[in-house]
Each structure stands twice: as structure tokens, then as C-alpha cells.
Structure 1
Amino acid sequence: MLEDEFGREVSGVRVSLTDRCNFDCVYCHNEGLGDTRGPMDPQDDELSTDTVVRFLEVAREYGVEAVKFTGGEPMLRDDLEEIVRRAPDDMAVSMTTNGTFLPGRAEALVDAGLERVNVSQDALDADAFAELTQSGAYERVLEGVEAALDAGLAPVKLNMVVFEPTAGYVPGMVDHVAANDGLQLQLIEYMPELAGHPEWAIDIQRVHDWLEDRADHVETREMHDRKRYFVSSDAETAEAAQTAATDGGVRAGDGLGMVEIVDPVGNAEFCANCHRVRLAHDGYLKGCLNRNDDLVAIGETKAAMRDAFEKTVAERVPYYGEYLVEDDEGGWTMNEAYLDSKGDRTPYEYADE
């Protein structure tokens, strides 16, 4: 397994199969729907089926243990099942989706080897959902979640971006996962550096504090030092959770929901524990989600992909703590020493040998 100069092993990859999406979420940094007529062949600017599979085989050579397929909306690719099926047998495969295409495809994806799924759901009210996503697909998303559960993908993790327009919906979403076995909730801190609108950002610590009071039990994951909040649906379950905590056996399900917060903004510890690189839909590797000045083209051959992967890992640095450094006022500013050492950065192209 390769590691960068900060000792961070790269154990996972995120692969964006397309930047097309049938939603137009107000917080999304892509800003563009593209051709969304339904699942179709890879478009001209998207990685082919064979190229994606070839890259996964190379990543596995370097000890990468897991891949998460993302987009845009990855299910707009009609070769998704084939890609999942052809992924290395010992590589864990998951996906993030808006859920609208899960009905009718979830079972086939599980048969192909999909193990976990995250479904984006920012509200429990159809009108609020439509306003946030610019779509009328609320009922279809709910059907998608049920299809995933029926196909054996429990627990289904619901992704909710937390910012001013959604902050008021957090308690309802927490109650929702507490009352529905098979669901978990991932609250994702809004990142204005990617999407703009800094006025939409909220103090994520307020959400942590609220959950600390709401939860019946709190655990801390070693990776990212991330907390897990276990919440009950009723007093009887809460009492059972306290007993289980004493015995060291708390788990989600049976009326006990699990909530996590992903809070990368200004979080040097989060970046110091990042173990993923990202492959964009157009064939460029990124060492950091937040950057577009570290792009390396993977090419078409395995030899080129190996070179690209090694270069990307060797040059990746923590976004907070190295690419950005903390100033005297507690804010974050560009690390001029790092920028000067790199000079003018342009996407690195590998010849298709």
C-alpha cells in the first residue's frame, strides 16, 4: 500500500463515473445537469467501462481495498452493473447515489457485487426536497431507499448536507433513522470553498452539541476521530441502549439509529487521516477533493496508470495543515512556501503508451 510523505496510506479510491445528474441541488459545485434522459452508454468525455476496470485493477495492485462510485449521478451510466461485476473480487464496492434509479436496478447491482450504498436525502418533506434539489423526485428517492433495503444493502446510509436551508430539518431526519431499522444518517458539513455562498455555512459544532444531548450513546471512530451518535426512538429503547453501553454492546438497529457528522472544513485532523484519492469522470486523478491544481491524467494503459497513481500519492498533502495553514487569527490561508515549491501547476499528462 502506497503512502504519501505525511504517512497517510491510500487504502481507498473514489471514482466519479459522470458529472451528469438528474438533480440540480442548490449546494452542488458542479452546476449543470448534462444529458439526463436516463441510463446510457458512457459519453465522449467520460471514462470507458474498460478504462475504469483497468484503473481499479491497478489500484488493487497497490493495496487499495475499497472503491466508492460517485458522480454526478453514477446510475446514469448503464454499464454500472458491469463495472461493479468486473471490479477486483477482493475490493469492497460501494456507491453514492440520489436513489432515483435504484428501483429496478438495486437487486442487479447487489448480484454484481455492490456491498453498500449512500443515498442523498436532505429533507423529509416533498416541497422542501424539491426546493433543495430542483426536482420532483422525492417519492422516487423513497422508493429507491426501500429497493436498496429489499436488495439486502442495509444499512442504507442517508447523506444530508447541513447548511442554512436544511439545518431545521436535522431533528426530523435524526428521528427518522432512529425509528426505521436499516437506515443510518450521515450529516455532511457544507463546504463553501467548493460551492460558494459562504453565508449558507453554519457552525457545525452546534450540531455536534445538539446530538450529544440527543444521543443515548456516543462512540468515537478511530479514523478521522469521528463520533457516532446512537439515538433511540422511544424511552424503552433508550434504557436498553444505556444497558448495552454498560456492557459494551451498543449497535444500530432495533429502534436505535446511528448518526455521524462529516466535518472537514477547517479540520486539520480530518485531512491528516484522509486515505483516499479521487478519479474524476474525465480521467484525472486528484490527491484532494478540494483542489483542481493537482490533476494527473491516468492515460489508457496500465503502465501509465501506475505512473499516475504513484505520482498522485507522492504529491498529495493535507488540505488543512499544509496546502492551507492556520493564521494568527485562527483562519486558514494559502501556504505560500508550498505554492512556491511547486511553481506553476498544470494537469500532468501521461502518454498513452
Structure 2
Amino acid sequence: MLVDQFGREVTGVRVSLTDRCNFDCVYCHNEGLGDTRGPMEPQDNEMATDDVVRFLEVAREFDVDAVKFTGGEPMLRDDLAEIIERAPAGMETSLTTNGTYLPGQAEELVAAGLDRVNVSQDALDPEAFKQVTQSGEYEAVIEGVDAALDAGLDPVKLNMVVFEATAGYVPEMVDHVAANDGLQLQLIEYMPELAGRPDWAVDIERVHGWLEEQAHTVEHREMHDRRRYWIDEKRGEQSDDGAKGTGDGGMVEVVDPVENAEFCANCHRVRVTHEGYLKGCLNRNDDLRSMGEMTKPEIRETFREVVANRVPYYGEYMMKDDDGEWSINEEYIGV
């Protein structure tokens, strides 16, 4: 297993299969690359099937045990099932999708070996959903979640980006996952450093505080220093003995990387762009490294180099000055 200079083992990879997408979400940062999207037809610059599989085989050589396929919308790839089927033994495969293509493909993907799925769903209100995603596919997403559950992808984790336009829908979404077996909720802090519009950001600590009031159990995860909240249908209600709720309920997890040095100190992922570049940090594009013709020796060399040069974004690459403001640590400029 490869370990960077800060003692962080690389146990997972996040592979973008395309930058094409049938949605146009207002907060999208395209895996930190910005708006690179072009025509919806397959592009020559996307990694070929064999390239993706070859990379995964090398990653497995380094004891990477999990891959998450992303985009863009990864289900626009016609070879997605083949890629999943050819993933190395012992490597968990998961997918982040907007869900619109799951009704026709979920069973095939499970048969190919898909283990888990995250579905982006930012509101339960169709009009609010349309404003955020610039898409009228609300019902298709709902059907996609049902199709994933029917295919055995349980639990299905719903991804909700929390910012000015969606924050008011958090309680409704929490109730939704608490009332429906098989659903979990991942609240993702809006990242203005990638998506712009800092005025859209909300105080994520207020979200944490509210969730703690509703939860009957709070769990701490080492990965990214995340907190999980277990909330049932009777959220916030106390019994005679002071306990909140009556059952296991739904799980709500908060992903809060912004200005969070603890989050970065616990990051164990390396990312791959749809064009075949490795990057050690979501927030940086000055650390992109090409894997060349993507032969196994080239992939191994680049993988080692990227891991060796990984730097926690907050707390090291970005440092707080005496006034409490974040500024780039010059030691890492140009690295």
C-alpha cells in the first residue's frame, strides 16, 4: 500500500469516466476541473475501456480496495457494465449518478458486480429540483432510486449539496430517508472554492447542530473525520426516559471539507480524470499528472509520483495566517 509523506494510506480511487452529463447543476465543479463539458456524444479524449481496467489493475497491485466511478454522468458510458465486471477481484465498486438511467440498467450493473450507488437528489420538490439541476427529470430520478433498491443496491445513498437554494429542504429529506428503508442521506457542503458564488454557502455547523438535536445516535467515522447521525421517523421527540426516537431509523452523513484541516488529514483517495490524468486532491489542478499511453509501467510510475506529492489541502497547502485567513503555502507552489 502506498503512503504519502503525511502518513495517509491510499485505499481508494475515484475515477471520472466522462465529463458529459444530461444535467446542468448550478453547483457542479466536475470533479474539481470546472466546466469542461462538450457535446453529449462520446469524445476521443475519454479513457478507453481497457485503459480504465488497466489502471484499476495497477491500483489493486498497491492494495487499493475501492473504486467509485463518477462523471459527468458515468452511466452515459456504454461500457460501464463491462468496466465494473472487469474490475479486479477484491475491489469494491460503487457509482455516483444522477439516477436517470438506473431504471434500465440497475439490474445489469448489479449482475456485473456493482456493490453500491449514490444518487444525486437535492430536493423532494420537483420545481426546486428543476431550478438546481436545470433538468425536468425529477420523476426519472425517483424511479432510478426505486430501480436501484429493487436490484439489491441497498442502501442507496442520496447525495444532497447543501447551499442557499437547498438548505430549507434538509428537514424534509431527513424525514424521507428516516421513513424509507434502504435509503441513506449524504449532505455535502457546498464548495465555493470550486463552484464560485461564495454567497450561496451556508454555515454547515448549524446543520450539524440541528442534526444532533434530531438524532438518537451520533457516530464518528475516521475517514475524512465525518459524523453520522441516526434519525428515526419520530426525530427530536423524547420518550419518558429522555431517549430520542425509538428505532435505528435513517442514516444522515455530513461531508464538510471546506476549511476543514481534519477532513483533509484523513483523505485516503486519489482521483482520475476522464482524460487519464491522476490528481492527488480535488481542490487542485496544479498537481495533474498524465499517465501517458497508460501502459502498466507508466501507470505505476505516475501513481507513485502522485501519492508521494499528495498534500492535505487545508492545513498544509492552504495555511491560516495571523488574521485567520487562508493563503497558499509557497512551499507547494509549482510542485
1:28-57 deviations in Å (ceiling 9; x for gaps):
1243653336xxxx5201000000000000
Give the corresponding residue for 2:95: 95
Q: CA deviation at 1:322?
A: 1.1
Counterpart contact for 2:2–2:62, Cα < 8 Å: yes
Give the corresponding residue for 1:290: 283
Per the alignment, do residues 244 and 62 of structure 1 end up closer, same or farther by CA in structure 2, a change over 3 Å counting? farther
Counterpart contact for 2:214–2:236, Cα < 8 Å: no
Counterpart contact for 1:24–1:32, Cα < 8 Å: no
* Partner SS for 1:129: helix
Q: CA deviation at 1:235?
A: 7.3
1:42-82 deviations in Å (ceiling 9; x for gaps):
52010000000000000000010100000000000010000
1:314-353 deviations in Å (ceiling 9; x for gaps):
00110011110011222211112332xxx4x6xxxxxxxx
1:120-148 deviations in Å (ceiling 9; x for gaps):
00000111100100000000000000000
Per the alignment, do residues 54 and 180 of structure 1 end up closer, same or farther by CA in structure 2, a change over 3 Å counting? same
Counterpart contact for 1:19–1:281, Cα < 8 Å: yes
Counterpart contact for 2:95–2:116, Cα < 8 Å: yes
1:71-99 deviations in Å (ceiling 9; x for gaps):
00000001000000000011000010000
Query: How far apart, CA to CA, are the structure 2 residues paired with 1:337 and 1:89?
Result: 40
Aligned residues: 330
Counterpart contact for 1:23–1:33, Cα < 8 Å: no
Counterpart contact for 2:65–2:90, Cα < 8 Å: yes
1:207-261 deviations in Å (ceiling 9; x for gaps):
0001111112211112222111111113799769x8899xxxx985xxx011010
Query: How far apart, CA to CA, are the structure 2 residues paired with 1:216 and 1:230?
Result: 6
* 1:323 to 2:329 alignment: no
* 1:337 to 2:328 alignment: no
Counterpart contact for 2:81–2:108, Cα < 8 Å: yes
Counterpart contact for 1:21–1:34, Cα < 8 Å: no
Letter in 2 for 1:96: T
Give the corresponding residue for 1:111: 111
* Partner SS for 1:103: helix
Give the corresponding residue for 1:270: 263
Superposed structure 1 runs of 4+ greater than 6 Å apart: 235-238, 242-245
TM-score for both structures, normalised by structure 1: 0.89
* Partner SS for 2:104: coil
Residues 59-138 of structure 1 aligned to structure 2 (within 5 Å): 59-138=59-138
* Partner SS for 1:142: helix
* 1:14 to 2:5 alignment: no
Query: How far apart, CA to CA, are the structure 2 residues paired with 1:306 and 1:13?
Result: 14
Counterpart contact for 1:8–1:273, Cα < 8 Å: yes
**Which consecutive unaligned segments of at least 5 residues does structure 1 have?**
346-353
Per the alignment, do residues 274 and 235 of structure 1 end up closer, same or farther by CA in structure 2, a change over 3 Å counting? closer
Could you say what the CA RMSD is over the residues aligned between the two structures, in angstroms?
2.1
Query: How far apart, CA to CA, are the structure 2 residues paired with 1:331 and 1:147?
Result: 46
Report sequence identity in percent: 70
* 1:257 to 2:261 alignment: no
* 1:305 to 2:299 alignment: yes
* 1:34 to 2:28 alignment: no
Query: How far apart, CA to CA, are the structure 1 residues paired with 2:236 and 2:26?
Result: 40
TM-score for both structures, normalised by structure 2: 0.94
